[in-house]
Amino acid sequence: MADLTLPLNAIRAFLAAARHQSFTLAAHELNVTHGAISRQIKNLEGYLGMPLFERRTRQVLLTERGRQFFEEASPALEILANAARRVMRDAPTRTVVINVRPSFAVRWLIPHLSDFVERYPGIAPQVVTSTATVGKAGSSFDIAVRRGETNWPETLKVQRFMEDELVLVASPALLQAMPLEDVSGLARHTVLLSRSRRNDWEDWRKLAGLKRSRSQAMLHFDHVHFVLQAVVDGLGVALSPVSLADNDLRSGRLVCPFPDLRLTLAPYYLGINAQAGSEAQLFARWLAEYRGASLMFAGG
């Protein structure tokens, strides 16, 4: 007997590609690779027994049957999504507790969190912050995120989460007033430093080939998120992990004057508590969809 199970993931990929008339834009929307979209659509075409797209050089066009399927499948999938949202809204609220460092919470997690809440309205994320290692974090949690693969308790299932790099950032207004044509121009700027990342300036200075200067003006803050706010306000320039500055870089509040001068940082890892429920698995899956998003910044 033929397998009649609907390939819902393939249908979702098809609908995105049909809306955009592009596999590339569909991949960007769903945060997957171009190849993944292509494979899903081929699977769907095999399931239906007909081509849905006409492939041309740098372009895809819906066939007549593809257009018909798109027009009928779009509202059907929306009905399913709305039904799922209603059921989840009416169900008792569940929680997932996420333990992260303060700067990661403020600069990366919270800006993305509305997407999780929209997708899973029956699950309430609770963000707790700590600067301690996970083993010494104190309060109980379902998921923790930290840099590096050391100092993780054996009770957690740990997996690599997101790569990261260190770059120089500044406000456009500051650079308009005091342009940075090359790294030697940094001598005229105030460098903003985080006490939680004490070695960044020395490491980046060596990468840039800058000599140590006793006359370099510097201001110190406790955490990176304070530093970044000070940079946005034009108090000086700073080094920041791309993951934490990404939203400001994308919006244009900050720019990277030397995009080729990057230092590779220890990647982020996430750990799932063995006692956590299915909510933690859903949150981890959601996190994985954003994996690597902070490295999309191309500089300039």
Radius of gyration, CA atoms only, the chain:
23
Q: Please give the tally of structural domains in the chain.
A: 3
Residues 151 and 216 grouped into a single domain: no
Residues 251 and 191 grouped into a single domain: yes
Residues 140 and 181 grouped into a single domain: no
* Residue 142: per-residue pLDDT: 92
Q: pLDDT-derived band of residue 12, with 50, 70 and 90 as boundaries?
A: confident
* Residue 295: per-residue pLDDT: 45
CATH of the domain at 47: 1.10.10.10
Alpha helical stretches, state H, the chain: 8-20, 23-30, 34-48, 64-90, 102-104, 110-119, 172-177, 200-208, 224-232, 242-251, 278-289
* Residue 128: per-residue pLDDT: 93
Q: pLDDT-derived band of residue 234, with 50, 70 and 90 as boundaries?
A: very high
User: How many residues are recorded in the chain?
Assistant: 300
> Mean pLDDT, to the nearest integer, of 111-115?
88
CATH of the domain at 209: 3.40.190.10
Q: Which of 245, 286, 293 is nearest to 96 (CA)?
A: 286
Which of residues 82 and 98 earns the better pLDDT score?
98
pLDDT tens digits, 52-90: 999 887 788 999 999 999 998 888 877 877 776 676 666
Residues 30 and 99 grouped into a single domain: no
pLDDT tens digits, 242-271: 999 988 998 899 999 999 999 999 999 999
Percent of the chain with pLDDT over 70: 90
* Residue 291: per-residue pLDDT: 61
Q: Which domain holds residue 37?
A: 8-90
Residues 104 and 253 grouped into a single domain: no
* Residue 93: per-residue pLDDT: 65
The residue whose two tokens read 């849905």 is 52
Q: Is residue 297 part of a domain?
A: no
Residues 256 and 273 grouped into a single domain: no
* Residue 1: per-residue pLDDT: 37
> Mean pLDDT, to the nearest integer, of 108-134?
88
pLDDT tens digits, 125-156: 999 998 888 877 666 899 999 999 888 988 89
Which of residues 117 and 84 earns the better pLDDT score?
117
Residues 143 and 215 grouped into a single domain: no
Is the pTM of the predicted complex or chain greater than 0.95?
A: no
d(CA 160, CA 153): 15
Mean pLDDT taken over the chain: 86
The residue out of 90, 118, 142 marking a domain boundary is: 90
Residues 135 and 281 grouped into a single domain: yes
Residues 225 and 106 sit within 8 Å (Cβ to Cβ): yes
Neighbours of 112 (CB within 10 A): 14
* Residue 79: per-residue pLDDT: 83
Residues 284 and 170 grouped into a single domain: no
Residues 142 and 173 grouped into a single domain: no
> Mean pLDDT, to the nearest integer, of 36-53?
91
Q: Is residue 295 part of a domain?
A: no
Q: Is residue 1 part of a domain?
A: no
Indicate left, alpha or beta for 193 from its phi (over 0: left) and psi (-120 to 50: alpha): beta
Q: Residues near 260 by Cβ (< 8 Å), separated by ≥ 6? A: 299
> What distances in angstroms separate CA 77 from CA 74, 177, 260, one per listed residue?
5, 52, 43
Residues 231 and 170 sit within 8 Å (Cβ to Cβ): yes
d(CA 224, CA 241): 9
Residues 222 and 252 grouped into a single domain: yes
Q: Is residue 206 part of a domain?
A: yes
Q: Is residue 249 part of a domain?
A: yes
